[in-house]
Amino acid sequence: MSIGLEHYLVLSAVLFAIGLFGALTKRNALVVLMCIEIMLNSVNIAMVGFSRFITPTELTGQIFAIFIIVVAAAEAAVGLAIVISIFRNRDTVDTTDIDLMKG
């Protein structure tokens, strides 16, 4: 059986689930950011897969993937800056200790 669209979609879903699990359960804020990067990459795989197998001459999926990469780069820069700023102020990056807004 040759590789089709379903293979890429299943790979994308598995990577997204792994990233979601990590983003929900990790205590280090940096690892949470890494898991969000995995999720964004899995979405890109689905986008490019659709672009390759459903509209091979349009390339719209690849253009969307490029925009997702741009937003992910901006998100990583700001997110890591926020984490470093939190570490400066509170001396920890543990998400269970960062509960300033907890009622």
User: How many whole angstroms separate alpha carbon 48 and alpha carbon 4?
Assistant: 13
For residue 86, the minimal CB distance to another protein (Å) is 9
Q: Does 28 interact with another protein (rule: CB under 8 A)?
A: yes
Choose, by CB under 8 A, the member of 70, 98, 100, 101 that binds another protein: 70
Q: Are 18 and 38 in contact (CB under 8 A)?
A: yes
3-class DSSP assignment, residue 32: helix
Q: Does 78 interact with another protein (rule: CB under 8 A)?
A: yes
Closest CA to 9 of 60, 56, 51: 51
For residue 33, the minimal CB distance to another protein (Å) is 7
Q: Does 14 interact with another protein (rule: CB under 8 A)?
A: yes
Closest CA to 40 of 6, 8, 70: 70
User: How many whole angstroms separate alpha carbon 58 and alpha carbon 100?
Assistant: 48
Q: Does 93 interact with another protein (rule: CB under 8 A)?
A: yes
45/100 with CB nearer another protein: 45
Choose, by CB under 8 A, the member of 24, 99, 101, 102 that binds another protein: 24
